[in-house]
Structure 1
Amino acid sequence: MEIYKYQALAINEISEKMRLDISTITRIMSKLVRDGLILKNRSVYDKRIVEATLTEKGKTVARQLQNSIEDYYKEVISNLPRGHVREVMRGVELLVTALEKAR
């Protein structure tokens, strides 16, 4: 989803955004390349940097995943008591902020 969001990301950027070791990202990326979901290419700006982009198949899968996530969130929100959605969303915002500060 990060590659879908940014269209192309260097391996180290993915590692930082996902807070995973580069070795872990590299293993995952190898499987995604094998499955035809991403391509790895050298950066046009710096040949030392390897960037990942989604294939057409990868974009289709990412769009389907994005739609599933959005549908799930809509379902969750629809099950909240009327009049409390903003209150709950504010609580979630506070939780996310607290989690980010704890990193």
Structure 2
Amino acid sequence: MQESSPAQDEDQDALVDALAQTAFVLTSALNRIAADNDLSITQLRLLGTLRGRSPQMKRLADHLGLEKSTLSGLIDRAERRGVVQRRPSESDKRVVEVTLTPDGESAARRIENDVRLAVEPIIRRLDAADRDALRVLLERMLGPAPL
């Protein structure tokens, strides 16, 4: 294994710090948006994850990093709010999928707009080419969406 130079270590440290600071800013915005919509941050993640998707319960639990029983409680509460529904998979009736209801889709669109408004002042500091380059780099760094 090749050793890194002090300059490379400093660059790596600066990148890690910049990513952490970005995460702090985004987390703060997401927490505020969740509170404004009377949601927990996990409920906010659930709505964001389900936009345009109907994952199986197991895959959803894995994606959100939740135990199956914790996810079941989360889905129960979201069903009572009328924003999600469970349904049997069309390909395997033993498998349960989760999908947004029309009210859930409306809430997800509203929240997506709130997130866009919260992040816009930050990304507006970059010109169009830099924004596109940042998006490409983040997509490469994060890899394909698991769902």
The 1-side partners of 2:110 and 2:84 are apart by 16
Q: Are 2:125 and 1:75 aligned? A: no
For 2:84, give the aligned amino acid: I
Q: Which has the larger radius of gyration?
A: 2
- Residue pairs, 1:29-48, within 5 angstroms: 29-48=75-94
TM-score (normalizing by structure 2):
0.53
**Deviation readout 1:26-70 (Å, 9 max, x if unpaired):** 110000001100111111211221111111100000000111111
Question: What 5-or-longer segments of structure 1 have no aligned partner?
Answer: none
Aligned partner of 1:17 in structure 2 is 63
Identical amino acids, percent of aligned pairs: 23
Structure 1, residues 6-36: CA drift from partner, whole Å, max 9, x if none?
A: 2x11111111211221111111000000110
Distance in 1 (alpha carbons) for counterparts of 2:52 and 2:62: 15
Measured in 2, the distance between the counterparts of 1:13 and 1:56 equals: 22
Across the two proteins, how many residue pairs are aligned to each other? 93
Partner of 2:98: 52
TM superposition outliers: structure 1 runs of 4+ over 6 Å? none
Q: CA RMSD in A?
A: 2.7
Q: Compare the two structures and name the one with the higher strand fraction.
A: 1
Distance across 2 between alignment mates of 1:86 and 1:42: 44
* Structure 1 residue matching 2:75: 3-state secondary structure: helix
